[in-house]
Amino acid sequence: MGTITGTTSDMQYSFDSTNGSDGNWSNADDQTTAVQFVPGDVYVRQANVPSNYRLVATIAPASQAPDTLTVTKKADGSVNVYQINVADTLEWSINGTDWTTGTGSVQDVTIPDAGATVSLRTKATASALASNIATKVFNARATAPAVPTVTKKADGSANVYEINATTTQEWSINGTTWTTGTGALQDVTIPLTGATVSLRTKATNDALSSVASTKVYAAQAGAPSTLTHQQGTTDATTKLVGMTNGQEYRVGDGSWILISADGTVDNIAATAGQVIQVRTAATANTLASATYSYTLKATDITPQ
């Protein structure tokens, strides 16, 4: 679209007249007349005096499209924010209708999740149509990859896990900060309050990031609360009564020992004053529970 300014409703204009007398003529509006320019001469005349005409402009044909259209991914962890850097004689659009003038510096371009065609053209002037258009197509976001494989790291911690993502993928535990995969195991520390581990295919300069697949970790459960302590069957030992399958215990700073059946754990070597701890063990899908801690008394230990 364009405008012819300084017109009145007593005027007419033509885009196909060759001499100011022939051609097709349309009525103008007061002050400004909105028009759709085409290449060629633009004549204006007084409607009731057709011989009073004037050539007001000659519109050049649309020029070739810009040679290059470079759109790059913004390094902000977003799904669809890109950047474009074009001169102020150019303009760009993501819908072919609304155009933004370049600034000669970087501008953000937000690509809809459904995809879009980014268009670039030389701006129209008073004597030339906007150029032909260069385009770059962004398809809709791809479907999510398989649910991420997150496994418990064998380090005795309550909440340190491992993920193995490819270098074309990235993962997050908060949906905002993303870490690129390495093709090898990477540590993932799940907050004790719980988190959602997300995995997606990384965005590139030519494609949006995929939809994310997710794996949810609930908040850490409370500590076991139904345990009792008794002297062990053998000398210098204690026993834990009320243990359940999937719990684990340790004495002092020793290694955690997993229990595979409900019942009593007997003959635990210990001395008075040591701390015995019990928790529900972590799995691939749940954090280890909070820890029950108890300082052993002499009466909890079988005398030698």
pLDDT, mean of each 10-residue run, the chain (304 residues): 92 96 96 94 96 95 93 93 97 96 97 97 93 97 96 95 97 95 97 97 96 97 94 96 96 95 96 97 96 96 92
Q: In the chain, how many domains are there?
A: 4
Dihedral sign from CA coordinates of 89, 131, 27, 43: positive
What's the confidence (pLDDT) of residue 1? 75
160 and 212 assigned to the same domain: yes
How would you class 13 by CB atoms within 10 Å of its CB: exposed for 0-12, middle for 13-18, buried for 19 or more?
Answer: buried
Q: Which residue reads 């032909």 in tokens? A: 132
What's the confidence (pLDDT) of residue 262? 95
Give the residue among 246, 296, 227, 226 at the shortest CA–CA distance from 268: 296
232 and 295 assigned to the same domain: yes
Find the domain containing 91 and state its range: 71-138
232 and 206 assigned to the same domain: no
Residue 131 counted as domain residue: yes
210 and 238 assigned to the same domain: no
d(CA 291, CA 298): 22
d(CA 67, CA 259): 69
d(CA 44, CA 56): 7
Domain end call among 109, 138, 167: 138
Q: How far is CA 33 from the centre of its chain?
A: 45
Residue 126 counted as domain residue: yes
Dihedral of the alpha carbons of 100, 101, 105, 111, in degrees to the nearest 10: 20
Domain end call among 160, 195, 217: 217
45 and 76 assigned to the same domain: no
Q: Would you tell me how many other CB atoms lie within 10 Å of the CB of residue 47?
A: 14
52 and 78 assigned to the same domain: no
Residue 65 counted as domain residue: no
Residue 144 counted as domain residue: no
SS3 content of the chain, % helix, strand, coil (to 5): 0, 45, 55
Residue 90 phi/psi, 5-degree rounding, is: -115, 165
Q: Which residue reads 């790059």 in tokens? A: 72
d(CA 270, CA 304): 12
What's the confidence (pLDDT) of residue 93? 98
47 and 83 assigned to the same domain: no
Domain end call among 160, 182, 217: 217
Residue 194 counted as domain residue: yes
88 and 122 assigned to the same domain: yes
Give the residue among 230, 256, 232, 228 at the shortest CA–CA distance from 242: 228
Buried b (16+ CB within 10 A) or exposed e, 52-81: ebeeeeebeebeebbeebebebeeeebbbe
User: Is the separation of the CB atoms in 51 and 74 below 8 Å?
Assistant: no
d(CA 217, CA 287): 7
